[in-house]
A and B are shown apart, each in its own frame.
Chain A
Amino acid sequence: NAGVTQTPKFQVLKTGQSMTLQCAQDMNHEYMSWYRQDPGMGLRLIHYSVGAGITDQGEVPNGYNVSRSTTEDFPLRLLSAAPSQTSVYFCASSYTGGAFFGQGTRLTVV
């Protein structure tokens, strides 16, 4: 019962570096999304996808790119990391009864 798997769990980047946060789900859900969690602010939607080949922006998309080539995978790319992107990132896979979340990636940009 893997559910939603995120890698890595922790990452430290230097300003200007790029990286990809990986997310995979094995529940065959069409809808997947990325959120970031900052202290006192709950979770905010970065990007989402309603199926393979279809992505769209959420509330805070600047500085992030996504793609969805398969139903299972939904990677999040930071092209040029900035300290403001220090956060905990959660990937979610959804159906009408709710969303299943990965364990999160704690990212620090120095």
Chain B
Amino acid sequence: GEDVEQSLFLSVREGDSSVINCTYTDSSSTYLYWYKQEPGAGLQLLTYIFSNMDMKQDQRLTVLLNKKDKHLSLRIADTQTGDSAIYFCADPMMDSSYKLIFGSGTRLLVRP
């Protein structure tokens, strides 16, 4: 079946770069998404990448897509304490671009 996998935890020092990784099984998706969840809050759409792109940059965020290896990564430059949150990778299901399969989330802890 379709699946999305992420590592569960990442700890970085403030000012360093963070890289959160994701692997997925369905290669037919037009988009792939990154969401951020702060404690007690809903999911916030951070960014997305079209499947025909290898890289997308948006201020401190860089998304890299390797379609051959079905690997997606999110790099956060100059990580701040406010970036501490859970980050979810999401891949649309094969039968509908609106139905999302989520990874289990990567908890990012930024140490001062």
A101–B98 contact, CB under 8 A? no
| Complex-state Cα separation, A101 to B45, whole angstroms | 9
Taking the complex as formed, is B24 at the interface, i.e. its CB lies under 8 A from any CB of chain A?
A: no
> Could you tell me the distance in whole angstroms from the C-beta of B55 to the nearest C-beta in chain A?
18
With A and B bound together, what is the CA distance between A99 and B97 in angstroms?
11
Nearest A residue to B89, CB-CB: A42
CB 8 Å contact bits of A29-71 with B (1 = contact, 0 = none): 0010101000011111100101000000010000000000000
Query: How many residues of A are counted as interface, with CB atoms below 8 angstroms from the partner's CB atoms?
Result: 25
In the complex, the chain A residue whose C-beta lies closest to that of B42 is A101
**Minimum distance in angstroms from A66 CB to a CB of chain B:** 14
Q: How many residues of B contact A (CB 8 A)?
A: 21
> Per-position contact with B for A1-30: 1 when CB-CB < 8 Å, else 0?
000100000000000000000000000000
Chain B residues, CB < 8 A from A102? 42
B103→A104 contact, CB < 8 A: no
Docked Cα-Cα span, A33 to B4, in Å, equals 19
Minimum C-beta distance from B29 to chain A (A):
11
What residues of A have a CB within 8 angstroms of the CB of B45 in the complex? 97-100
List of A residues within 8 angstroms of B8 by Cβ: 40
Q: Is the CB of A33 within 8 A of B98?
A: yes
Would you call B88 and A43 a contact (CB within 8 A)? Answer: yes
- A4 to B45 alpha-carbon distance, docked (Å): 13
Query: In the complex, are the beta carbons of B31 and A96 less than 8 A apart?
Result: yes
Write out the residue numbers on chain A whose beta carbons fall within 8 Å of the beta carbon of B31.
96-98
Q: Give the 8 A-B residue pairs with the shortest CB-CB distance, closest first.
A: A42-B102, A101-B42, A98-B45, A31-B98, A101-B43, A43-B102, A42-B104, A94-B98
Chain B: residues with CB nearer than 8 A to chain A? Answer: 4, 8, 30-31, 33, 35, 41-45, 48, 88, 97-100, 102-105
Q: What 13 new A-B contacts, CB under 8 Å, besides A43-B100, A101-B42? A: A31-B98, A42-B4, A42-B88, A42-B104, A92-B43, A94-B98, A96-B31, A97-B31, A97-B48, A98-B31, A98-B33, A99-B33, A99-B43
